[in-house]
Amino acid sequence: MQNEVSERRGMLGWLRPDFIVAAVLDLTAEDIQRMSPATRAVCLDIDGTITDYHAPSVPERSVERLKSYHEAGLHTFIISNCHDERVTEVHRLFGSLVTGVLTPADAVDAANPDDRPGKHIKPAPDMLVAVSERYGLAPRELLMVGDQIFKDVLSARRAGAASVLVPREGSRDHFGVRIFQRPVETMLRAVMHLPVKHRSWPRRLTRAPR
């Protein structure tokens, strides 16, 4: 019985975030440097994290938050599973705001004719690994921020990076994620003693319960 409990805890460990906070707007550079002093780069998902799903613009408050990370000496990266025409749009929206933008297409190895973007979508760690290799950052110096356990948290864990889980931003969502993934993640958060209701999320960066 004890071995079964340990095994379950080990499996959940891959899905458990290091930190939680109510929103990216509540994630200050000061709190990052206080709670995660090894962090040199903040890597952020877009849809449901910085903006509503497929939002056509970036809210001014989010722009100011991204600027605040740079002012504190932190690099910033967009790590998004977007594809097709959305890739161009994401580069247009964020290219001037962050250190770098990485989508699955940006992680493709041009020297490998068999490589394709679909191999690099989160929860694959490839985009975070690319940040580490291209910008000379150790995996432990990356902090991945996102709203999905199965994509953002797991990709960070697989890359050796720390992670921050936030509740979904906005009212829109990818159909498959909303129908199939969100209910499972809600149950997982309850099992891992993470916030379930929006009002339960902390307004300051907080270490996730163990």
- Segment 105-162, tens digit of pLDDT: 999 999 999 999 999 999 999 999 999 999 999 999 999 999 999 999 999 999 999 9
User: Mind listing the pLDDT tens digit for each residue in 78-116?
Assistant: 999 998 888 999 999 999 999 999 999 999 999 999 999
With the CA atoms of 135, 147, 195 and 4 taken in that order, what torsion angle do they form, in degrees rounded to the nearest 10? -80
Eight-class DSSP state of 52: S
> What pLDDT, on the 0 to 100 scale, is given for residue 85?
87
pLDDT(1) > 60 = no
**Mean pLDDT, the chain, integer:** 91
All domains of the chain in start order, with CATH:
2-207 (3.40.50.1000)
Give whole-number Cα distances, 170 to 90, 133, 161, 167, in Å.
18, 33, 26, 10
> What pLDDT, on the 0 to 100 scale, is given for residue 186?
86
Q: Does residue 120 sit in helix, strand or coil?
A: helix
Query: Looking at residues 192-197, what average pLDDT do you find?
Result: 94
pTM as predicted: 0.91
Q: Which residues pair with 100 in a beta bridge?
A: 77
Do strands 142-146 and 162-165 pair parallel, antiparallel, or not at all (unpaired)?
parallel
pLDDT(58) > 90 = yes
Asked if 132 and 138 count as a contact pair (C-beta separation under 8 A), the reply is yes
> What pLDDT, on the 0 to 100 scale, is given for residue 6?
43
pLDDT class of 175 with cuts at 50, 70, 90: low
Eight-class DSSP state of 207: E
Structure tokens at 168: 């979904």
> What pLDDT, on the 0 to 100 scale, is given for residue 5?
38
